[in-house]
C-alpha cells in the first residue's frame, strides 16, 4: 500500500484529501506544520508527499530543499495557492515532481499521484531486475539499480530529474532531443509551466559533469556527445 504524507495547515483541505485518498486505497499520515511534516517524513518514510507552500511555522519549499539536499528522492507534489509561474518553476526546479494550484479537483490530484505511483513501481521493478546494470560514457558511470552516479570515479549528487535526464542522454548518445521531448520523457507528461526548466536542468548537469558532454543543437535542443555507452550486467 502506498503511504502518502500530507503537509497542509488548512484543516478542511487536509481532512478532505485524507478521506478521499484512503477511499482510493492509500495509507495516509498528515501534518499541519513545518515541524510536524519534518518529523513525520523522517519517522514514517512515506512513498509520496503532498506539500503546501505556506505553513504556519515555515515554508514548504524549505522542507523540499532539506529533503533533496539530504538525498531523498521521494516524489513531492505541491498543492499551493501560489499561482504565479515563477513559483511553479521554482518549486519544480528545486525538486518537486508536480505542482497543483488551489482550488483543485480531487480527480486531478489523484491522477497526478497515480503517475508518481507508477514511477515508483517501475523503479522497484527495474531495481529488482537489474541491480548491477550500468551505463558508461566519457567518464560518467550511471548505476541503474542504486541510482548512483560517478564522474571519473567521484560520486555525484543528482536530483531525480537530473538522473532521469542523464539516463535518457546516455541511453541515446548522439540523438538530438527537443525541449518538448525532454519534458515528455523526463517529466512524464506534457503539462508543464515552460521549457526554460529544461535549460536549467541541462545547465546543472553541465556544472556537475562537463560543458562538453551535453551539446546544444541551435534551434533544436540538446544531445549527448556521440559515443556508444556500455550497458553491462556484472
- Whole-angstrom distance, CA of residue 62 vs CA of residue 32: 15
pTM of the prediction?
0.57
Q: What domains are defined for the chain?
A: 3-127 (3.40.50.2300), 131-233 (1.10.10.10)
Residue 64 is predicted with a pLDDT of: 92
What are the tens digits of pLDDT across the range 131-188? 447 788 889 998 877 788 999 989 998 887 888 899 889 888 888 998 888 887 777 6
- Whole-angstrom distance, CA of residue 219 vs CA of residue 88: 25
- Whole-angstrom distance, CA of residue 175 vs CA of residue 153: 26
Scanning the structure block, which residue is given the C-alpha cell 482550488? 103
Amino acid at each position: 500500500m502506498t503511504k502518502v504524507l500530507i503537509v497542509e495547515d488548512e484543516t478542511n483541505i487536509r481532512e478532505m484529501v485524507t478521506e478521499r485518498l484512503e477511499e482510493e486505497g492509500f495509507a495516509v499520515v498528515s501534518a499541519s506544520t513545518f515541524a510536524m511534516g519534518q518529523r513525520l517524513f523522517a519517522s514514517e518514510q512515506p512513498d509520496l508527499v503532498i506539500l503546501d507552500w505556506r505553513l504556519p511555522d515555515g515554508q514548504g519549499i524549505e522542507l523540499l530543499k532539506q529533503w533533496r539536499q539530504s538525498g531523498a528522492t521521494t516524489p513531492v507534489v505541491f498543492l499551493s495557492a501560489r499561482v504565479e509561474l515563477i513559483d511553479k518553476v521554482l518549486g519544480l526546479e528545486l525538486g518537486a515532481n508536480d505542482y497543483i494550484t488551489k482550488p483543485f479537483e480531487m480527480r486531478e490530484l489523484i491522477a497526478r499521484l497515480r503517475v508518481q505511483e507508477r514511477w515508483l513501481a517501475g523503479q522497484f521493478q527495474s531495481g529488482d531486475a537489474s541491480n548491477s546494470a550500468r551505463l558508461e560514457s566519457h567518464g560518467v558511470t550511471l548505476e541503474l539499480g542504486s541510482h548512483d552516479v560517478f564522474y571519473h570515479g567521484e560520486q555525484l549528487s543528482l536530483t531525480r530529474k537530473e538522473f532521469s535526464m542523464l539516463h535518457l542522454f546516455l541511453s541515446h548518445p548522439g540523438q538530438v532531443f527537443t525541449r518538448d521531448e525532454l519534458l515528455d520523457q523526463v517529466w512524464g507528461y506534457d503539462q508543464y509551466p515552460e521549457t526554460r526548466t529544461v535549460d536549467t536542468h541541462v545547465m546543472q548537469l553541465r556544472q556537475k559533469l562537463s560543458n562538453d558532454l551535453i551539446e546544444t543543437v541551435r534551434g533544436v535542443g540538446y544531445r549527448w556527445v556521440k559515443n556508444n555507452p556500455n550497458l553491462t550486467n556484472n
